[in-house]
Amino acid sequence: MPWFVATLTLSLPGCQSLKEKRSRLAPLLSRLKRYNLSVIEASHQDNWQIADLQIAKIGRNRAQLDRDLAQLVSLIEDDFRDLILTNVSSEFYF
């Protein structure tokens, strides 16, 4: 089965504390987990205004995984306007 690992770098402008960062990320993390994938905050845990999320997902084929990744990016850009998606990198495995 093919799968991918994607790293999404998010900017949280105006964030003033780690507590605020966690509260702004919590709805996104909760929503992403509904999509049958694994998600973690991979780095920048102590930086108030940056978050790196790593996402892993298994799919049936490469085309489905490409659609799933595009859907995740659209979800973040459209529904979480207080977060700015600054970088997306992904690796696909077969």
**Whether pLDDT at 8 is above 90:** yes
**Total domains, the chain:** 1
Q: What's residue 44's pLDDT?
A: 81
59 — phi, psi (to 5°)? Answer: -140, 180
Structural domain boundaries enclosing 86:
3-93
Mean pLDDT calculated for residue range 64-74: 96
**Whether pLDDT at 45 is above 90:** no
Q: What's residue 87's pLDDT?
A: 97
| Averaged pLDDT of the chain | 94
